[in-house]
Structure 1
């Protein structure tokens, strides 16, 4: 059953004259008659009584006309909805972001929402590992994470910037005047770091293990503002990606001497998944914000 056949049937039902209906539809009468006949054969019941040159609706035709009209209306509504979706007048995009990149996301989100207020944006904060899993399950359109591996062939990777992993300390702490610090020195200080499920936490612990060191991790928290608040008390020091630290009034960041203490921020999405226009524009705004603040 095709929408074309439904349109032909409804026009014939409206005019009760195949010749006039065909003329109105800009097709031949034989084409109209053939298409309606095919529709009747598919439904296995006649929709019209054909008495000489007169045409009237059967009871089945009267009943079917209601549903045929509803079907065409829904199809047309669907086309209008898709047009609105492409014109960014409706729709939803789902963005995943790791805790350390909330500031980059916020800037892009404000610009996007101001320009396209009718598009709903769903934001999910989580660890990089959890966000990659949600992306694989098609729960997210794209994710914004720290990630150095680009080996999964079904992902599209867009690197944004590199940011050093640094010691974060209270400005009045005994370490605040240091120009740099080693992992060995850090292993002797009380630390507050992100929870073990976070990729930056994995990165830090691997660096200590590689150097044969056991860090003094006092507190693990899955919220960067809380880590910064704890560091401000002067009782602990933090290890964070530098871009995560915007509060420079009470805090200072100190480079870590070891090589490779750098994380790469990137946008990751699925290669084969259809990318909605809204997602494409949001991606472009993330890239533009990154260029403006490079």
Structure 2
């Protein structure tokens, strides 16, 4: 039995995404090429590594066992490549970045600015909720995460670089739009549309209202900010979202920010990575770019300036 490093790299990508198409995008290969590598690997081992149930694939017991080794092997190879790139002073390489879903509204703009300076850096961007990001950090499966402040004691290095105010949004014809200093008890009377469990926005919102002794009436849970915005516009209720996510709707007067006491909830975005992770040259360049320039770039970009209160 002879296994190749390429086979293990492809296997690790498929095992991570549980998707041949996602793995092919990550590896910049065609889907048939990925399938061939997995087939050859299974033939070399003599045991199926994946099983398909409906439209989804799952790791078999043998696949789970192999992944214990493949994850470490692939990470060690990537670290070795990073060391050699750093030694040669190369401005090319790979960056794997995972961001909280709300950060997905501004990170493409920042990545575009970074890519103009480092056009030979291949960037993979994954969008997940806070719970998934913490799992990925624990597995060391990305270079950086962009998220709210992570818990202490997880062996993470994190630095804030951008404000992330949470605001109460409502349809523009809502009766409270013209009010000022709206009491929290008045918001308690509204039907509340919440993000899903595991979302950083939801955790921060629930913690804020609990500290104030306020229990919200949750009418609907939704996993996408876009769905929540559409629901609020349709008059299904009010919600709390990051100001970053609603700038276009505010400008178009499809949504309104309510002037609620103790709001906005002041939060920040953090650049996060494993404390002991060796950062190659391109990763260090990205870290410097985000920490030193991201806020100014976004403030100068139309659509990211905080609107005045009505």
TM-score (normalised: structure 2): 0.62
The reply to whether residue 163 of structure 1 matches residue 164 of structure 2 is: yes
Match of 1:136 in 2: 138
Superposition RMSD in Å: 2.7
Question: How many pairs are equivalent?
Answer: 215
For residue 85 of structure 2, the aligned residue among 72, 82, 90 is: 82
Match of 2:288 in 1: 284
Larger radius of gyration: 1
How far apart, CA to CA, are the structure 1 residues paired with 2:174 and 2:266? 24
Deviations 1:69-100, CA, capped at 9 Å, x for gaps: xxxxxxxxx89x737984233x3211111111
Counterpart pick for 2:279 among 275, 280, 286: 275
User: Which residues of 2 match residues 67-216 of structure 1 at below 5 A?
Assistant: 82=85, 86-89=89-92, 91-147=93-149, 151-152=152-153, 154-216=155-217
Are the counterparts in 2 of residues 164 and 255 from structure 1 also a CA contact under 8 Å?
A: no
Task: Output the TM-score relative to the length of structure 1.
Answer: 0.65
Shift of the 180–140 alpha-carbon distance from structure 1 to 2, 3 Å rule, reads farther
- The 2-side partners of 1:255 and 1:172 are apart by 14
String of CA shifts for 1:169-207, please: whole Å, max 9, x gaps: 111211211233333222211121211210210121222
CA–CA separation in structure 1 for the residues paired with 2:98 and 2:154? 20
**Structure 1 CA distance for aligned equivalents of residues 255 and 90 of structure 2:** 45
- What SS does the aligned partner of 1:240 have? strand
2: CA distance, partners of 1:128 / 1:205: 15
Instruction: Tell me the CA shift for residue 115 of structure 1.
Output: 3.3
Q: SS where residue 262 of structure 1 aligns?
A: coil
CA separation of 1:272/1:161 partners in 2, compared to 1, >3 Å: closer, same or farther? same
Q: Supply the distance in 2 between the matched residues of 1:226 and 1:272 (Cα, whole angstroms).
A: 38
Q: What is the 5 A alignment of 1:51-66?
A: none
Secondary structure at the aligned position of 1:109 is classed as helix
1:254 counterpart = 2:258? yes
Give 1:282 deviation, angstroms.
2.1
Match of 1:227, SS state, is helix
